[in-house]
C-alpha cells in the first residue's frame, strides 16, 4: 500500500494548528477537529485523544474519529493499562503491527475496535507533565512505520500546550472569593535608581502587584451594559488576541505562535463564556458576570498543587481584564493593560516582560532585583528601559500617576512638574541627535598595538540577531537557550527547539555559534515548573544540575541542538555551572546517548560538536589544569563567578555592595583560569557582564583574554575602547591590581589608572 509521505511538513506547520485553535467553537470541537486533521493527514482510519485525569490517575477517551462516538467519556484506562496506558507510562510511543496479539492489548467492546490491527499510541506530555495520549489505528497489519511515529510525535508536541489547556478547563468546578481593596499613596516625588536597561520614558504608571486583585473595581456604568455589549466585547477580545498572536510570531519566533492558547481555550470554554451569558440573562450586569466567572477560575487554578496550573491564573486574569476593558471601552480598537504605561512591580517573570513588550509598555520599574538578574537582561534584549529602585512605597502609587523615568542617568520623578518634563524633553532630543544612526564597526577588532581580539555576541532572543549582524559580531559567543523556556508558559517541545536553533544558525551565517544548554533555576524561574520552594535557589537545583536531574528535558534539548546543526561544519555546545569533572563527563555522556539515539533512528544530526563549559564556580579554579586537558573550550560567566566566589546573591539589592568584581580573590581566580587554558591551548571567552564593562576590559586583556562575548548593543563601545588600549599597558595594569591583597588597594590602582 502506498502512503502519502508529504504530511510531515504539513503537520509541523504551526499555522494549521493555530487555525484549529482559533477556528473551533469550543473545547470538545477543538479536540474533535484535531483527531479529524490527524486521521486525514496520516491516512489512519481511527484517531483518538485520551486525556489524563490527574485526580483519578486515569486516561479518559475524549475525542475520536473511527471508534464509536458513544464511547467518549466512558473508556477509562489506568496508567500502564493497555497499549495506550503503556505509552503514557513509558512516555514513549507504542507501535503495534498486530495490536490484538500483543499481551498488553486491552479490548473495549463499546469502542468497536475489532477491525483495527495496527495501533500507534504517542504520549502527549510537556517536560515531566503527563497530558494524554494520541492514538491512531488502521485495519491493515503493520501499517504504521518510523515516519508515522516521528510525525505523530511532532504533532503531539505541537499540540501539547493547547490540549493541556483543554484538559484543565474541562475539570474546573470550584468557586472563588473576593479579595479586599488595596491602599494608595501619593507622597513620593523623586528617587534615584539603578539602571537595568537604559532609555527613558514618560507615561502613566500601572502598578502590578501580585496578590492584589485588579478585577474588583465596579464601574459606574455596569448596569447600563447589555448582552449585546458582552458579545461585542468577546468578539473584540478574540480579534485582539489573534492580532497579538500574529505580532508575537513575527517579533519573537521562539515564543511560538501558540502562546495565547490558554486564552483562546478559556474564551471557547462554554463553562466560562456560556455561564457568563446565563448570568447576564438572569439579571447580573456583564462586568459582574465576567468577575464572577474569572474569580471562579482563578480560585480553581490557584488551588492546584502544580505550578504550571497556577501559572494559568495569569492567563485568566489577563483575559478577564481584556474582556472588562473591551466592555467598558467600546470605542477603543486596542485595549490592553500595560499599553503605553510604565509598569511598577515588585517582581516579574520573564514571561510577564514578554507580554508587556507586546503591549508596547514604555518602561519598567522594579522595586527589587539587580542589573545582573535575568528579567533585567531580557528587558535589555527587548530594549525596554528598566530601573531598579529599592522603594516599596512605589507599589502604593495609584494607577495612572504620571511617572518620568530617566534610565540613562537613573532618576525617577513621580508627577513631575512642567519644567522637569520640559528639561527632560530638551535633554532627550539632544541625546537622540547625538546618537549616530549606525555606529561604524569594523569586522575585526584590534588593540592599539595590533593584538587581534575576537568580539562575539550574547543572544537571548532571536530578534537580537539582526542587530548583532549589523554590528558585525564574529559569531554568537553565548546563546542562552533558557529564554525560549522562560518566556513561555510551557516547556518547548523538541521540534520547537529544533526550529529555534535552526533559525539561530541560519541567521548567523558563517559565524561561530556557541549554544549553551538549559540554565534554569536561581533567578531564572520557570513559572510553570514547581521549584519545590528551595530556600537557596542560587545554590539549589540550578542549571546543569536541573538538566542532569531531568534527563528527558536535557536529552530533548541535546537532540534538538544536534539535529538543528546537522550539516554544519562546526557547532559548539556548552554546559553551564559545571562544578566538577564528574558533572562534565555526565553531561557529555548524555550527549553521546542522544547522538547514538539519533544514529539508530537514522535522523540527520551533527556528529562531532565541540563540547565546552562555563566557568562560574570557584570549585573549578583549583582543578582548572585537569579541565583544560579534556574540555574543548571555556567561557567565563563572570556574573555567576563573582556571585559564587563571594557568596553574594547577584539579585539581592541588600548585599549589592558585596558584589565586587574588583575583589582580589575574583581577580586572582580569573588569572589562574586564564593561565591554565592558555597552557593547554584551549580557547576561552568571557561572556559575563565584566566583559562589556569598560572598567574591567584592560584587566581582562592583561591576563590574556582574547575573546569577549557581549550583548549586541555593547559591541560598538567595546570595540572602540579596545582600539584605544595596548596589551603592554593592560598587562602592567593587571599585574599591579593582582598584587593587591585588599579591595581598597585594588580600587586605588583602578582610580589612579
Ligand atoms: C554569567 O553567569 O556570567 C553568564 C553569562 O550566565 P548567566 O548570566 O546567563 O547566568
Ligand atoms: Mg551564569
Question: Left if phi > 0, otherwise alpha if psi is -120 to 50, otherwise beta: which for 349?
Answer: beta
Q: Alpha-carbon distance 197 to 215, whole Å?
A: 31
CATH code assigned at 741 = 3.20.20.60
Q: Please tell me whether residues 139 and 203 are part of one structural domain.
A: no
Find, among 478, 560, 473, 460, the residue nearest to 511 by Cα: 473
pLDDT at 436: 58
Highest mean pLDDT among 107-116, 121-130, 465-474, 520-529: 465-474
pLDDT at 589: 98
State which ligand 1 atom lies nearest to the alpha carbon of 637.
Answer: 3
pLDDT at 6: 52
The residue whose CB lies within 8 Å of the most ligand 1 atoms, and thus the one to mutate among 369, 518, 519, 714, is: 519
Question: Left if phi > 0, otherwise alpha if psi is -120 to 50, otherwise beta: which for 638?
Answer: alpha
Range with the poorest average pLDDT among 2-11, 20-29, 242-251: 2-11
Residues 6+ apart with CB under 8 A from 128: 550, 552, 553
**Which structural domain, as residue segments, surrounds residue 360?**
183-209+337-435
Find, among 319, 297, 318, the residue nearest to 309 by Cα: 297
φ, ψ at 188 (rounded to 5°) = -70, 145
How far is ligand 2, taken at its centre, from the CA of residue 430, in Å?
Answer: 37
pLDDT at 448: 97
Q: What is the DSSP string of 191-202?
A: EE-EEEE--EEE
Residue predicted with more confidence, 347 or 581: 581
The active-site residue, picked from 125, 374, 606, 663, is 374
Highest mean pLDDT among 140-154, 320-334, 485-499, 568-582: 568-582
pLDDT at 396: 87
Q: Please tell me whether residues 530 and 651 are part of one structural domain.
A: yes
Q: Please tell me whether residues 149 and 204 are part of one structural domain.
A: no
CATH code assigned at 171 = 3.30.450.40
How far is ligand 1, taken at its centre, from the CA of residue 281, in Å?
Answer: 55
How far is ligand 2, taken at its centre, from the CA of residue 640, in Å?
Answer: 5
Ligand nearest to the CA of 518: 1
**What predicted TM-score, i.e. pTM, was given to this entire model?**
0.69
The residue whose CB lies within 8 Å of the most ligand 1 atoms, and thus the one to mutate among 614, 643, 696, 711, is: 614
Q: Please tell me whether residues 138 and 55 are part of one structural domain.
A: yes
Would residue 687 show up in a list of annotated catalytic residues for this protein?
Answer: yes
Query: Is 445 a domain residue?
Result: no
State which ligand 1 atom lies nearest to the alpha carbon of 480.
Answer: 9
Strand ranges in 546-693 using DSSP code E only, listed in sequence order: 572-575, 610-615, 633-636, 683-686
Rounded to the nearest integer, the mean pLDDT of the chain is: 85
Q: Would the pLDDT of 613 be above 70? A: yes
The active-site residue, picked from 12, 47, 594, 687, is 687
Highest mean pLDDT among 148-157, 233-242, 402-411, 451-460: 451-460
State which ligand 1 atom lies nearest to the alpha carbon of 543.
Answer: 10
Is 255 close to ligand 1, i.e. is its CB under 6 Å away? Answer: no
Q: Would the pLDDT of 179 be above 80? A: no
Range with the poorest average pLDDT among 4-18, 177-191, 708-722: 177-191
Is 338 close to ligand 1, i.e. is its CB under 6 Å away? Answer: no
Nearest Cα residue to atom 10 of ligand 1: 640
pLDDT at 369: 65
- Place 546 in a pLDDT band, splitting at 50, 70 and 90: very high
Q: Would the pLDDT of 4 be above 80? A: no
How far is ligand 1, taken at its centre, from the CA of residue 481, in Å?
Answer: 12
Q: Would the pLDDT of 182 be above 70? A: no
State which ligand 1 atom lies nearest to the alpha carbon of 522.
Answer: 10
Report the percent of the chain where pLDDT is more than 70. 86
Is 498 close to ligand 1, i.e. is its CB under 6 Å away? Answer: no
Would residue 391 show up in a list of annotated catalytic residues for this protein?
Answer: no
Is 640 close to ligand 1, i.e. is its CB under 6 Å away? Answer: yes
Which helix (H) or strand (E) segment is 345 a member of? strand 342-345
Q: Alpha-carbon distance 312 to 320, whole Å?
A: 12
The residue whose CB lies within 8 Å of the most ligand 1 atoms, and thus the one to mutate among 373, 480, 642, is: 480
How far is ligand 1, taken at its centre, from the CA of residue 548, in Å?
Answer: 19
pLDDT at 532: 65
pLDDT at 17: 62
Q: Would the pLDDT of 183 be above 60? A: no
Q: Which grid cell is 619?
A: 570549585
Is 66 close to ligand 1, i.e. is its CB under 6 Å away? Answer: no
Q: Please tell me whether residues 528 and 381 are part of one structural domain.
A: no
State which ligand 1 atom lies nearest to the alpha carbon of 687.
Answer: 5
- pLDDT, tens digit, for every residue of 121-158? 999 887 767 889 999 999 999 999 888 888 888 788 77
State which ligand 1 atom lies nearest to the alpha carbon of 641.
Answer: 2
State which ligand 1 atom lies nearest to the alpha carbon of 377.
Answer: 8
Q: Please tell me whether residues 133 and 191 are part of one structural domain.
A: no
Mean pLDDT, residues 632-650: 95
Is 639 close to ligand 1, i.e. is its CB under 6 Å away? Answer: yes
Is 519 close to ligand 1, i.e. is its CB under 6 Å away? Answer: yes
Range with the poorest average pLDDT among 86-100, 114-128, 621-635: 114-128
Find, among 515, 442, 455, 450, the residue nearest to 706 by Cα: 455
Q: Would the pLDDT of 306 be above 80? A: no
State which ligand 1 atom lies nearest to the alpha carbon of 616.
Answer: 2
Q: Please tell me whether residues 723 and 661 are part of one structural domain.
A: yes
Residue predicted with more confidence, 456 or 189: 456
Is 164 close to ligand 1, i.e. is its CB under 6 Å away? Answer: no
Query: Is 2 a domain residue?
Result: no
- Place 360 in a pLDDT band, splitting at 50, 70 and 90: confident
pLDDT at 168: 66
- pLDDT, tens digit, for every residue of 389-410? 988 889 888 888 999 998 887 8
Query: Is 235 a domain residue?
Result: yes
pLDDT at 169: 67
Query: Is 621 a domain residue?
Result: yes
Query: Is 269 a domain residue?
Result: yes
How far is ligand 2, taken at its centre, from the CA of residue 98, in Å?
Answer: 51
Q: Alpha-carbon distance 227 to 352, whole Å?
A: 32
Residue predicted with more confidence, 173 or 3: 3
Is 711 close to ligand 1, i.e. is its CB under 6 Å away? Answer: no
The residue whose CB lies within 8 Å of the most ligand 1 atoms, and thus the one to mutate among 196, 458, 483, 576, is: 576
Q: Please tell me whether residues 328 and 466 are part of one structural domain.
A: no
How far is ligand 2, taken at its centre, from the CA of residue 537, in Å?
Answer: 13
CATH code assigned at 378 = 3.50.30.10
pLDDT at 332: 43
Is 482 close to ligand 1, i.e. is its CB under 6 Å away? Answer: no
φ, ψ at 134 (rounded to 5°) = -105, 130
Query: Is 574 a domain residue?
Result: yes
Nearest Cα residue to atom 9 of ligand 1: 480
Residue predicted with more confidence, 720 or 224: 720
- Place 212 in a pLDDT band, splitting at 50, 70 and 90: very low
Range with the poorest average pLDDT among 240-244, 389-393, 543-547: 240-244
Final residue belonging to a domain, choices 378, 406, 435: 435
Final residue belonging to a domain, choices 402, 435, 468: 435
How far is ligand 1, taken at its centre, from the CA of residue 615, in Å?
Answer: 10
Do the beta carbons of residue 382 and residue 255 sit within 8 Å? no
Q: Would the pLDDT of 511 be above 80? A: yes
Q: Would the pLDDT of 416 be above 80? A: yes
Is 538 close to ligand 1, i.e. is its CB under 6 Å away? Answer: no
How far is ligand 1, taken at its centre, from the CA of residue 26, in Å?
Answer: 44
Q: Would the pLDDT of 318 be above 90? A: no
- Place 178 in a pLDDT band, splitting at 50, 70 and 90: very low
| Helix, strand, or coil (residue 584) | helix
Final residue belonging to a domain, choices 401, 435, 469: 435
Residue 396, CB-side half-sphere exposure with 13 Å CA sphere: 9
Report the percent of the chain where pLDDT is more than 90. 46
CATH code assigned at 332 = 1.10.274.10
Range with the poorest average pLDDT among 135-144, 184-193, 391-400, 678-687: 184-193
Query: Is 65 a domain residue?
Result: yes
Q: Please tell me whether residues 331 and 343 are part of one structural domain.
A: no
CA distances, 743 to each of 202, 321, 739, 740 (Å): 39, 51, 11, 8
Ligand nearest to the CA of 374: 1
Mean pLDDT, residues 41-66: 88
Mean pLDDT, residues 237-257: 74
Q: Please tell me whether residues 420 and 464 are part of one structural domain.
A: no
How far is ligand 1, taken at its centre, from the CA of residue 638, in Å?
Answer: 7
pLDDT at 677: 98
Ligand nearest to the CA of 709: 1
Q: Would the pLDDT of 211 be above 50? A: no
- Place 334 in a pLDDT band, splitting at 50, 70 and 90: very low
Ligand nearest to the CA of 516: 1
Residue predicted with more confidence, 173 or 25: 25
Question: Left if phi > 0, otherwise alpha if psi is -120 to 50, otherwise beta: which for 582?
Answer: alpha
Residue predicted with more confidence, 380 or 704: 704
Q: Please tell me whether residues 283 and 262 are part of one structural domain.
A: yes
Query: Is 128 a domain residue?
Result: yes
Which residues on neighbouring strands pair with residue 134, listed in sequence order? 49, 122
How far is ligand 1, taken at its centre, from the CA of residue 640, in Å?
Answer: 6
Q: Please tell me whether residues 325 and 343 are part of one structural domain.
A: no
Find, among 710, 198, 721, the residue nearest to 473 by Cα: 710
Number of folded domains that form the chain: 4
Strand ranges in 568-650 using DSSP code E only, listed in sequence order: 572-575, 610-615, 633-636
Residue predicted with more confidence, 281 or 326: 281
Amino acid at each position: 500500500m502506498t502512503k502519502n509521505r508529504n504530511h510531515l511538513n504539513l503537520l509541523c506547520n504551526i499555522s494549521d494548528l493555530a487555525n484549529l485553535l482559533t477556528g473551533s467553537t469550543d473545547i470538545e470541537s477543538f479536540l474533535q477537529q484535531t483527531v479529524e486533521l490527524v486521521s486525514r493527514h496520516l491516512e489512519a482510519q481511527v484517531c483518538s485523544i485520551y486525556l489524563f485525569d490527574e485526580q483519578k490517575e486515569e486516561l479518559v477517551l475524549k475525542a475520536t474519529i473511527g471508534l464509536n462516538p458513544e464511547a467518549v467519556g466512558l473508556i477509562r484506562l489506568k496508567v500502564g493499562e493497555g497499549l495506550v496506558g503503556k505509552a503514557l507510562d513509558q512516555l514513549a510511543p507504542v507501535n503495534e503491527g498486530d495490536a490484538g496479539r500483543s499481551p498488553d492489548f486491552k479490548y473495549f467492546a463499546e469502542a468497536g475496535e475489532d477491525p483495527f490491527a495496527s495501533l500507534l499510541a504517542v504520549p502527549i506530555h510537556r517536560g515531566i507533565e503527563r497530558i494524554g495520549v494520541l492514538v491512531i489505528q488502521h485495519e491493515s497489519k503493520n501499517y504504521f512505520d518510523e515516519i508515522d511515529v516521528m510525525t505523530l510525535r511532532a504533532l503531539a508536541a505541537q499540540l501539547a500546550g493547547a490540549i493541556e489547556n483543554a484538559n484543565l478547563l474541562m475539570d474546573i468546578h470550584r468557586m472563588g472569593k473576593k479579595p479586599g481593596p488595596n491602599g494608595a499613596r501619593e507622597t513620593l516625588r523623586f528617587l534615584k535608581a539603578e539602571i537595568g536597561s537604559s532609555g527613558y520614558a514618560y507615561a502613566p504608571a500601572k502598578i502590578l502587584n501580585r496578590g492584589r486583585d485588579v478585577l474588583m473595581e465596579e464601574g459606574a456604568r455596569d448596569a447600563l451594559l447589555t448582552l449585546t455589549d458582552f458579545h461585542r466585547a468577546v468578539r473584540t477580545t478574540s480579534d485582539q488576541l489573534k492580532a497579538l498572536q500574529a505580532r508575537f510570531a513575527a517579533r519573537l519566533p521562539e515564543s511560538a505562535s501558540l502562546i495565547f492558547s490558554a486564552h483562546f481555550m478559556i474564551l471557547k470554554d462554554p463553562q466560562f463564556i456560556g455561564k457568563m451569558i446565563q448570568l447576564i440573562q438572569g439579571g447580573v450586569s456583564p462586568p459582574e458576570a465576567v468577575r464572577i466567572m474569572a474569580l471562579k477560575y482563578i480560585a480553581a487554578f490557584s488551588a492546584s498543587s502544580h505550578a504550571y496550573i497556577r501559572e494559568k491564573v495569569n492567563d485568566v486574569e489577563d483575559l478577564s481584564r481584556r474582556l472588562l476593558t473591551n466592555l467598558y471601552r467600546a470605542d477603543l480598537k486596542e485595549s490592553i493593560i500595560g499599553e503605553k504605561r510604565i509598569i511598577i512591580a515588585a517582581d516579574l517573570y520573564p514571561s510577564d516582560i514578554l507580554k508587556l513588550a507586546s503591549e508596547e509598555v514604555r518602561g519598567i520599574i522594579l522595586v527589587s532585583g539587580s542589573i545582573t538578574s535575568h528579567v533585567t537582561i531580557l528587558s535589555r534584549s527587548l530594549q525596554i528601559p528598566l530601573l531598579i529602585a529599592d522603594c516599596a512605597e512605589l507599589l502604593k502609587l495609584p494607577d495612572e500617576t504620571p511617572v518620568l523615568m530617566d534610565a540613562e542617568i537613573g532618576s525617577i520623578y513621580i508627577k513631575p512638574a512642567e519644567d522637569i518634563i520640559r528639561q527632560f524633553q530638551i535633554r532627550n532630543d539632544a541625546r537622540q541627535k547625538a546618537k549616530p544612526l549606525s555606529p561604524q564597526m569594523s569586522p575585526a577588532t584590534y588593540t592599539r598595538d595590533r593584538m587581534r581580539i575576537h568580539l562575539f555576541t550574547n543572544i537571548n532572543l532571536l530578534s537580537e540577531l539582526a542587530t548583532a549582524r549589523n554590528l558585525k559580531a564574529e559569531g554568537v559567543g553565548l546563546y542562552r537557550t533558557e529564554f525560549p523556556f522562560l518566556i513561555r508558559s510551557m516547556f518547548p517541545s523538541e521540534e520547537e527547539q529544533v526550529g529555534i536553533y535552526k533559525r539561530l544558525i541560519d541567521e548567523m551565517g558563517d559565524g561561530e555559534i556557541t549554544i549553551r544548554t538549559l540554565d534554569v533555576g536561581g533567578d531564572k524561574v520557570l513559572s510553570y515548573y514547581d521549584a519545590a520552594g528551595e530556600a537557596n535557589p542560587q545554590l539549589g537545583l540550578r542549571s546543569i544540575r536541573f538538566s542532569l536531574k531531568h534527563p528527558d528535558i536535557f536529552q530533548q534539548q541535546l537532540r534538538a541542538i544536534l539535529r538543528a546543526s546537522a550539516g554544519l561544519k562546526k557547532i559548539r555546545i556548552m554546559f553551564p555551572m559545571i562544578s566538577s569533572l564528574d558533572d562534565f563527563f555526565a553531561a557529555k555522556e548524555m550527549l553521546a546517548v542522544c547522538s547514538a539515539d539519533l544514529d539508530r533512528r537514522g535522523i540527520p544530526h551533527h556528529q562531532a560538536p565541540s563540547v565546552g563549559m562555563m566557568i562560574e564556580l570557584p570549585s573549578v579554579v583549583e582543578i582548572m589544569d585537569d579541565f583544560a586537558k579534556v574540555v574543548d573550550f571555556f567561557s567565563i560567566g563572570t556574573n555567576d563567578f563573582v556571585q559564587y566566589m563571594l557568596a553574594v546573591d547577584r539579585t539581592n539589592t541588600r548585599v549589592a555592595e558585596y558584589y565586587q568584581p574588583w575583589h582580589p580573590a575574583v581577580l586572582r581566580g580569573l588569572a589562574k583560569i586564564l593561565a591554565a587554558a592558555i597552557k593547554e591551548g584551549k580557547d576561552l571567552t568571557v561572556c559575563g557582564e565584566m566583559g562589556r564593562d569598560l572598567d574591567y576590559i584592560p584587566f581582562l586583556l592583561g591576563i590574556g583574554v582574547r575573546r569577549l562575548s557581549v550583548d549586541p548593543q555593547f559591541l560598538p563601545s567595546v570595540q572602540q575602547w579596545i582600539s584605544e588600549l595596548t596589551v603592554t599597558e593592560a598587562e602592567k595594569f593587571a599585574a599591579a591590581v593582582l598584587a593587591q591583597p585588599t579591595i581598597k588597594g585594588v580600587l586605588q590602582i583602578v582610580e589612579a589608572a
